[in-house]
Amino acid sequence: MSLKLLRDVPFGAVLCLVGTNYINSANAQQTDQQTIVTKAEAALAAKINCGDFRKNTNGTWTSAPNTKIGDSAFPQHTFDIRGVSIGGADLATVLNRKCGGTPPVR
């Protein structure tokens, strides 16, 4: 019985190591995807001027009449999270992080 137990221990250890490797691989893929989003948000943040946007009391954002994002005109748009995606980044999310997430008090 003791010989059978010793024979099963290496098999169990190999299964444990394979499982750990699989989990680490999945975590690495998730981190890579998060990095891509972060890079897209950073690229978009570099193209926007907070003064060109107003945070509304309902949490949406509105762009000013002469707003540009990079070279593209983006005048008088009102949008919320998941409303406008530019280069793979959500515009409202980037504005909340860069320009402040609290709407003005009326």
pTM over 0.75: no
**Any idea what the Cα angle at residue 19 is, between residues 13 and 23, rounded to 5°?**
145
| H helices, E strands: number in the chain | 2, 7
13-63 residue pLDDT tens: 544 444 444 444 444 444 444 444 579 999 999 999 999 999 999 999 999
